[in-house]
């Protein structure tokens, strides 16, 4: 009987710890749509670290989940941080005048003689010359099929739920790195 009491206490403690971790430290999200392909696919299940940005800053290239509005959350890649000047020219991303390699897009770029990411300047899409304080510029990896900051503008840093840390479903696509 004593053996069962110890086992039951252990199980209850494990369940309580799982609930606390789930509620305060991590969240699970489902990818809806193809805007992050080939990195993330429709239906992928993600584990999002909700507390990381309490201790560190958001970085360029991080894949984040953020509240787009009161009912919708989006997953996108951080392209621009506060103060950044962003431009795209001939399929090359420029941040503060320096070309940025986006090797994570190589798998998706078709050889169809069409531009993968249309040319733009930050000022042309947002009316701002640089990313304002407290804001981020985000884009999907599937540039031709992504609703992102090129269409809806900057996002508030406060709207960030967290950083995507793990893709855990389907198991065949289990992953922890998204560069």
Active site residues: 35, 76
Cα 24 to the center of its chain, rounded Å: 19
- The whole-angstrom separation of Cα 142 and Cα 40 is 10
Instruction: Please give the DSSP secondary-structure letter assigned to residue 109.
Output: -
Q: Are 154 and 135 in contact (CB under 8 A)?
A: yes
The residue among 113, 177, 105 whose CA lies nearest residue 146 is 105
- The whole-angstrom separation of Cα 131 and Cα 129 is 7
């Amino acid at each position: 009987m004593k053996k069962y009491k110890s086992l039951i206490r252990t199980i209850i403690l494990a369940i309580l710890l799982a609930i606390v971790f789930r509620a305060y430290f991590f969240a699970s999200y489902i990818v809806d749509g193809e805007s992050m392909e080939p990195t993330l696919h429709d239906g992928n299940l993600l584990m999002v670290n909700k507390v990381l940005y309490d201790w560190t800053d958001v970085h360029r290239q991080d894949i984040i989940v953020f509240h787009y509005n009161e009912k919708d959350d989006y997953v996108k890649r951080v392209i621009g941080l506060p103060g950044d000047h962003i431009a795209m020219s001939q399929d090359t991303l420029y941040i503060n005048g320096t070309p940025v390699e986006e090797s994570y897009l190589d798998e998706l770029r078709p050889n169809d003689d069409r531009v993968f990411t249309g040319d733009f300047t930050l000022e042309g899409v947002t009316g701002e010359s640089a990313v304002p304080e407290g804001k981020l510029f985000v884009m999907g990896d599937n540039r031709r099929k992504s609703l992102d900051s090129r269409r809806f503008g900057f996002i508030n840093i406060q709207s960030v739920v967290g950083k995507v840390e793990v893709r855990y479903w389907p198991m065949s696509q289990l992953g922890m790195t998204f560069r």
